[in-house]
Structure 1
Amino acid sequence: MALLEICCYGLTCAKAAQQAGADRIELCSAPKEGGLTPSAGVLKAVRKEVTLPVHPIVRPRGGDFCYSQAEFSTMLDDIAFLRDLGFPGLVIGMLNEEGGVDRDKMQQVMRAAPGMAITFHRAFDMCANPLIALEELTDLGVARILTSGQQASAEKGISLITELKQRSRAPIIMAGAGVRLNNLETFIAAGVDELHSSAGRYTPSPMRYRHAGVSMSADTDADEYSRYEVDPQAVTAMKAALTRAVS
């Protein structure tokens, strides 16, 4: 049966995903940035209160995945913090200026995280040559690659995902981006081993007072009175569908 990883933005989401039957959690902050490194407080709370395997993302900013030395130094510090807290894995990805895997920095990551399962995230979908990147990441020893098959969604990228799976015994190829209950059959039929989904929804803020005309966001059209959370019913339904597929 395919493993179901849920992307969670905070402790409440992580606990909801666990209760709903997720197999593993990717822990992030900042959903509108595509996921950034969670705060120390969140990391400590999740480590204490969630028993599922949790793999936090190490990503200091939004945008591309070509990092300066100063940015990379902070990432190594974050990795040391996660390692010392006892997280079993982490999620990271780095590219060089030409769109290839930044082998030097990734080698340093592997040395900094002994015994931790390393997921190379969707930086893979921004690389220039996915087949070369697969070879490089295999040599580096990463545990898995999270990918949409270099398309806007994993459903659209299923052809490349299938090819990567056929070429790779390790790392695991995990499909992510737009993975939902209504398209699970596509991934089940392709024999994908691991699936990554946000299974998310936006819910209204409990605030009754709303100060119109003032925004804290760079996006002035953003709704700052809604909050992103895991939909536990969606997680339960996806897990049930995956279970039925092997029964």
Structure 2
Amino acid sequence: MMLIEIIVQHAEDAKIAEEHGANRLELVTAMMEGGLTPSYGVIKDVVQAVSIPVHVMVRPHGYSFTYSEDDKRVILEDVKVCKELGAAGIVFGSLTENGEIDEAFLKKVLKTAGGMKITFHRAIDEANDIIEAYKTLQKYSESIQTVLTSGGAPKALDGVENLKAMLALSSEMQSPAIMLGSGLSPDNISELHEKVHATEYHFGSAVRVNGKFSEPINGNTIKKIREIIS
């Protein structure tokens, strides 16, 4: 089955995305900073507004993906609240100062999330070695279902070779699934899909009026994408 995930910022976004064919939602705020943790009120509102899974971004700031001890306390508290509010999953990622997966902290997040779905987000695209980073995440495939990535490039179309390698590794191990994101649109999704044959795709500004997060979601664009890759 082809999975289409849409970035949403509030309940109205969520309802439009669900109505027009989204399979899953990534709930965020502050997209100008790359997407941060939304307020608890927004999380509750969105979870109650739709029937499809809502995965909440857990990211306290946009400075980097290397977190201080204070940051880590906040992250773990946010994970607990996401679980209490009924979110199906969280979207999270952290690296060490050496550009490797922060396994020690990852283990704490996974334990706190216990039972929730986990997407490791595009922090992986800033790792020193994206393939080795993915192999590290495969050790936690019982807990991490999805890795959101552009293949280490600014846009997914530029990261095709790494994406192919990651998809091959994913196929061997059956997990985590590779979800392609960054720069995807109705204009290029056909070309990318033909090159990599992924089954999970992630869309943000491309499904909005005028391509802006300050504008509403255009449901017809989601329908068009589903028609192209189905």
CA distance in 2, matches of 1:228, 1:157: 28
Partner SS for 1:229: coil
CA distance in 2, matches of 1:229, 1:129: 37
Give CA-to-partner distance per residue, 1:75-129, whole Å, 9 cap, x none: 1011001111222111000001000000001000110111111100000100001
Give CA-to-partner distance per residue, 1:14-53, whole Å, 9 cap, x none: 1111111111100000110111001111011111111111
Q: Which moved more, 1:99-108 or 1:194-203?
A: 194-203
Partner AA of 2:208 in structure 1: R
Aligned to 2:88: 88
CA distance in 2, matches of 1:49, 1:11: 6
CA distance in 2, matches of 1:187, 1:110: 32
CA distance in 2, matches of 1:16, 1:242: 20
**TM-score normalized by the length of structure 1:** 0.86
Q: Which moved more, 1:133-142 or 1:54-63?
A: 133-142
Query: Aligned pair in 2 of structure 1 residues 202, 32: CA closer, same or farther (>3 Å)?
Result: farther
On the 8 A contact 1:31/1:228 being kept in 2, the answer is no
CA distance in 2, matches of 1:69, 1:191: 40
Aligned to 2:125: 125
Deviation of residue 202 (structure 1)? 5.4
Partner AA of 2:223 in structure 1: T
**TM-score normalized by the length of structure 2:** 0.92
Within 5 Å, give how 1:80-229 maps onto structure 2.
Answer: 80-141=80-141, 142-168=144-170, 169-189=174-194, 190-198=196-204, 199-201=206-208, 227-229=214-216
Count of paired positions: 222
CA distance in 2, matches of 1:140, 1:102: 12
CA distance in 2, matches of 1:122, 1:228: 24
On the 8 A contact 2:44/2:86 being kept in 1, the answer is no
Give CA-to-partner distance per residue, 1:145-176, whole Å, 9 cap, x none: 10001111001111111110001221101100
Structure 1: tracts of 5 or more residues without a match:
204-222
On the 8 A contact 1:200/1:228 being kept in 2, the answer is no
Higher Cα radius of gyration: 1
Aligned to 1:242: 229
Q: Structure 1 residue 233 and structure 2 residue 220: aligned?
A: yes
RMSD of aligned C-alpha atoms? 1.6
Partner AA of 1:11 in structure 2: A
Q: % of aligned pairs identical? A: 34
Partner SS for 2:106: helix
CA distance in 2, matches of 1:63, 1:143: 26
Structure number with the higher helix fraction is 2
On the 8 A contact 1:2/1:188 being kept in 2, the answer is no
Partner AA of 1:122 in structure 2: R
Partner AA of 1:12 in structure 2: E
Aligned to 1:57: 57
On the 8 A contact 1:8/1:229 being kept in 2, the answer is no
